[in-house]
Structure 1
């Protein structure tokens, strides 16, 4: 079999272009000659500092079984032509990379590629390591400038499920950089009609499907069903006509970046799921964040809900010492701790308050540990440690909680998909 994979990453900048746009143009071009698989848009470790926007690489798969040498040469030349034409090579932070891998080598090295995929999800990968891995699996890479895109290009090729989908629409070139005007009500209505097969479309009554950058993307709709995504696109109203669109297979909304870990094993810039017990009541800190600590049988770590998580912080504030929880999020280096993406309250601790009502109807007033309590009406005395305790009903329930869509990472799995 001489089918092949093509991986591309790091072609865009914060000012222009988009790697998925190159993928879309290449799909249109290559489909004129070859049978093509659904393209992939794969997000990698969101804690990578040198990413442009979402740390996502794309990959294409040519499905022809008997590619001739001239076909392979044509495909490679076409890919490089589009990468060179639609990469922001003038930006110092744009360092494109392209990877070519034949199907037979992909199949022969599947376990190595799975290992690499996990590595780019959980860690900060070195460029030399990526290059070595491309060579080890029999692939070929092309670097532009520093070539950091090699890392994500191979990561996209190497990815494995679970997958969701994203339908991306693109603007006509004359509209690039202009303000996107999309009807919020139409997106809210689309979200209602396509629930639960699409997700992360709205935050309250505001649409969040359109980026705020100068890239060619008009908007993107995420979901679990291709046909429903096509129907959803027809429901969205905007002031400009769509130039083209493409549906990508993606790991967005899967929590692929998170893994269960013991606290003693946690290190910065990775994604974790930790189960433990709250060791202190949450407190508010500067900047509107809320912090608490959780422990397991190996250690203790801080967990933080930052200001962009909005109402999610109100849930966090209601935690109490002794609650059993699962915390989902990425690990910040400074200050060291988990940035919360989701919270699972497994078991609520019982909370008690002192019953300061005397049998006569009066109120028991504290006179200190030695003197205990004295009723303000009948003057009855009650030993400090003998006062009756009554259980306080908690203003929170056991279950899963998540940050609002506007604060959600690309990879974060929304609760509706659980």
Structure 2
């Protein structure tokens, strides 16, 4: 039996993963449970509460190996509903919880439909009516609260499939909720050094970034590719007392939201991977850097915002003619790619004219296109015959990413490539 929940939290209160953790604790007493999933959907969705992530659980059967009875199923549904109603921020206008229940039989019969739905919630903006159609098609039950937008992510989490990574989430004592978190940054830096590359996105320089900035129950989260390493990492972090913790299977750090596009086919509010040639030198506009790329189908602007910090220097060093692959999400207005990563495939050669005469003098221009004359020996050189010197570029070919603090949940860090 599959259970999906989403959109229970707000920026000020609660967390859907906390409900998932409480449900796991409660249901594990009677049932064999699969690892819970925390699945991020399209980051361009504007009505998301925080990280656009849905949680799903799978009940495999009773602890004694027996299948679920109707009585078990009713008990599970009642437990889910009670916890969602207790720990959802119904006072927040933007919080619209949803619950989805799907039987194992209906899941197995509708894998293709569910797989297509998962792809759609990753790449597009999905409305609730479309989700209701899919829910009815696959024989799922659902409960909506207020606008009920949570059923979109709830089903998306159930429908998800690899690639996956892991996140270990720790939670605070209730009396600490809403207060400043106590986490020793130095211990997080040390943990990062000892566990990388099996954990990632823990620090930005010497600053820990594993703790959220909201008033939710989460103390911190550590992301990685090995469950055992996550447990070791948790024991290396010095913090206030942990109330409980849980490891979630997740699609974070996978780039699963990106697709290859020709420029003419790009549309707003989706994730793209585009290969092209830099067709305009980068421009500085206040704190942002903007440049244009082209392929045989068209052109599009690419932008690096202020939160990307020194990454913008990489972008500033680009020149017309450079061949690049741009990874990012597409804004609707202005229509442009918000860069998450860039691969500089081939740098265009840049030259300056050698204005040193062989006699040691300096060649001076005789006028536009008229050639050069030495100020010492008076020798003249035709305009097209002057030697060119290749300039060393300020950047080298390779892969570059925005700093950890500016990365999206779904962005795959280079250390995982």
Q: TM-score, normalised by structure 2?
A: 0.98
Q: Structure 1: how far apart are the matches of 2:26 and 2:289?
A: 50
1:188-207 correspondence runs (5 A): 188-207=189-208
Alignment partner of 2:16 out of 4, 14, 19: 19
**Secondary structure of the corresponding residue to residue 352 of structure 2:** strand
Alignment partner of 1:7 out of 4, 23, 32: 4
Q: Structure 1: how far apart are the matches of 2:8 and 2:292?
A: 40
For residue 103 of structure 1, what is the aligned residue in structure 2? 104
For residue 57 of structure 1, what is the aligned residue in structure 2? 54
For residue 124 of structure 2, what is the aligned residue in structure 1? 123
Q: Structure 2: how far apart are the matches of 1:376 and 1:97?
A: 81
Q: Structure 2: how far apart are the matches of 1:373 and 1:176?
A: 75
1:266-277 correspondence runs (5 A): 266-277=266-277
Q: Structure 2: how far apart are the matches of 1:358 and 1:17?
A: 74
**Secondary structure of the corresponding residue to residue 254 of structure 1:** coil
Q: Structure 2: how far apart are the matches of 1:331 and 1:32?
A: 45
Q: TM-score, normalised by structure 1?
A: 0.97
Can you list the C-alpha shifts for 1:243-296, whole angstroms capped at 9, x where unaligned?
00000000000001101011111000000000111112111112x111111111
Shift of 1:382: 2.0
Can you list the C-alpha shifts for 1:345-382, whole angstroms capped at 9, x where unaligned?
11111111111111111222223224322223223222
The answer on whether the counterparts of 1:368 and 1:384 sit within 8 Å (CA) in structure 2 is no
Shift of 1:317: 1.0
Can you list the C-alpha shifts for 1:24-71, whole angstroms capped at 9, x where unaligned?
000000000000000000000000001111000000000116110000
For residue 151 of structure 2, what is the aligned residue in structure 1? 150
For residue 209 of structure 2, what is the aligned residue in structure 1? 208
Can you list the C-alpha shifts for 1:209-248, whole angstroms capped at 9, x where unaligned?
001100000000000000100000000011x200000000
For residue 255 of structure 2, what is the aligned residue in structure 1? 255
**Secondary structure of the corresponding residue to residue 73 of structure 2:** helix
1:334-349 correspondence runs (5 A): 334-349=333-348
The answer on whether the counterparts of 1:170 and 1:219 sit within 8 Å (CA) in structure 2 is yes
Q: Structure 2: how far apart are the matches of 1:147 and 1:378?
A: 84
Q: Structure 2: how far apart are the matches of 1:218 and 1:363?
A: 67
Q: Structure 2: how far apart are the matches of 1:403 and 1:370?
A: 43
For residue 135 of structure 1, what is the aligned residue in structure 2? 136
**Secondary structure of the corresponding residue to residue 397 of structure 1:** coil
Pair 1:46–1:370, CA change in 2 (3 A)? closer
Pair 1:74–1:322, CA change in 2 (3 A)? same
Q: Structure 1: how far apart are the matches of 2:408 and 2:345?
A: 23
Q: Structure 2: how far apart are the matches of 1:53 and 1:354?
A: 54
Q: Structure 2: how far apart are the matches of 1:87 and 1:176?
A: 15
For residue 179 of structure 2, what is the aligned residue in structure 1? 178
Q: Does 1:47 pair with 2:48?
A: no
1:218-257 correspondence runs (5 A): 218-238=219-239, 240-257=240-257
Q: Structure 2: how far apart are the matches of 1:16 and 1:366?
A: 70
Higher mean Cα deviation, 276-285 or 168-177?
Answer: 276-285
CA-based RMSD of the aligned residues comes to 0.9
| Structure 1: stretches of 5+ with no match in the other structure | none
Q: Structure 1: how far apart are the matches of 2:369 and 2:394?
A: 34
Q: Structure 1: how far apart are the matches of 2:367 and 2:405?
A: 50
For residue 29 of structure 1, what is the aligned residue in structure 2? 26
**Secondary structure of the corresponding residue to residue 367 of structure 2:** coil
**Secondary structure of the corresponding residue to residue 282 of structure 1:** strand
Can you list the C-alpha shifts for 1:111-165, whole angstroms capped at 9, x where unaligned?
1001000100000101000011111011011000110000000000000000000
Q: Structure 2: how far apart are the matches of 1:254 and 1:191?
A: 19
The answer on whether the counterparts of 1:99 and 1:139 sit within 8 Å (CA) in structure 2 is yes
Which stretches of structure 1, 4 residues or more, deviate above 4 A after TM superposition? none
1:312-323 correspondence runs (5 A): 312-323=311-322
For residue 408 of structure 1, what is the aligned residue in structure 2? 407
For residue 369 of structure 1, what is the aligned residue in structure 2? 368
Q: Does 1:68 pair with 2:69?
A: yes
